[in-house]
Amino acid sequence: MAFRMIAFCGLLGLILFISSCGCREDEFGEQMIIEVPVSTYPDQDTFQVGDTLWVECLFPKVLSVKDANGKIVLEDFEFRTSLGFSEVSDTIEQFDSELEVLERIGTVDILPLATALVYPIGIVEDTMHYQFKAGFVLSEPGLYWFFFNTPDYLYEDYEHPVMYTCGRNRRSSVNFFHQNPATSEEGYQRLISETNVEYIPELTELEEYKGGGCLTFRVLE
């Protein structure tokens, strides 16, 4: 009887020790989608060659998480975000129109990829907010698809507390939903109905379009 009591106490002590070394996982889970407020203006579906599309970010360090009640704090966080413009009126998506950039807050780089041309942006952090502002001068006529892109694979080796649910338990993915007031279902339907690039209607869903803070617009001569 005494041996059983000693064994029970030893087991209880081991459980308490393990529990004290652990931690409680947060509510956001293994796959987290952070909602990032962004804006583009002027809010219109037709531009003229020479017009400027302005892109702006101004948001606090406490952000909402999609499908969760709580909020998450992003302090000293590196947003690895790019902007994309593709011309989609023909059967091939064209990325080769390099735009004049007007930097106001933060930085804009130009990154030619094998099948695309993207604009990585540098979002500036201050004591309370993250900020970015730049204008893109539209130089060629056509039907354009504009989007924000923050690929989760760019964070596979990124070290930051937000990448973990608890202790050293790393999330399987951290994604971003770009909340742009100018993004609309009408813009999505226009992209799907007017583009001649076959794979865009097949592969692009409305939720993905919204999460990219996307726009569809024409540029006229």
Residue in the block written with tokens 């390099």: 98
Report strand pairing: 62-64 vs 71-73: antiparallel
Instruction: With cut-offs at 50, 70 and 90, classify the pLDDT of residue 22.
Output: low
- Across the range 73-94, mean pLDDT stands at 95
CB-based contact 37:59 (threshold 8 Å): yes
Express each pLDDT in 105-118 by its tens digit. Answer: 999 999 988 778 89
Per-residue confidence (pLDDT) for residue 168, from 0 to 100: 86
- d(Cα 73, Cα 59) in Å, to the nearest integer? 12
Percent of the chain predicted with pLDDT > 90: 78
Structure tokens at 170: 């790393």
CA-CA distance, 34 to 158, in Å (whole number)? 16
**Window from 13-17, 54-58, 86-90, 149-153 with minimum mean pLDDT:** 13-17
More confident residue, 79 or 7: 79
pLDDT of residue 26: 84
Burial of 205 (0-12, 13-18, 19+ CB in 10 A): exposed
| Closest C-alpha to 204, from 189, 217, 182, 218 | 189
Instruction: Tell me: pLDDT of 97 over 90.
Output: no
Q: What is the pLDDT of residue 7?
A: 43
C-alpha pair distances (Å), 148 with each of 39, 174, 215: 10, 15, 10
For the chain, the distance separating the N- and C-terminal CA atoms, rounded to the nearest angstrom, is 93
From residue 207, alpha-carbon distances to 43, 67, 170, 185, 188 in Å are 20, 13, 26, 9, 10
The whole-number pLDDT of residue 71 equals: 93
Q: What value does the mean pLDDT take over residues 67-79? A: 94
Of 77 and 69, the one with more pLDDT: 77
> Which tens digit of pLDDT belongs to each residue from 167-205?
889 999 999 999 999 999 999 999 999 999 999 999 999
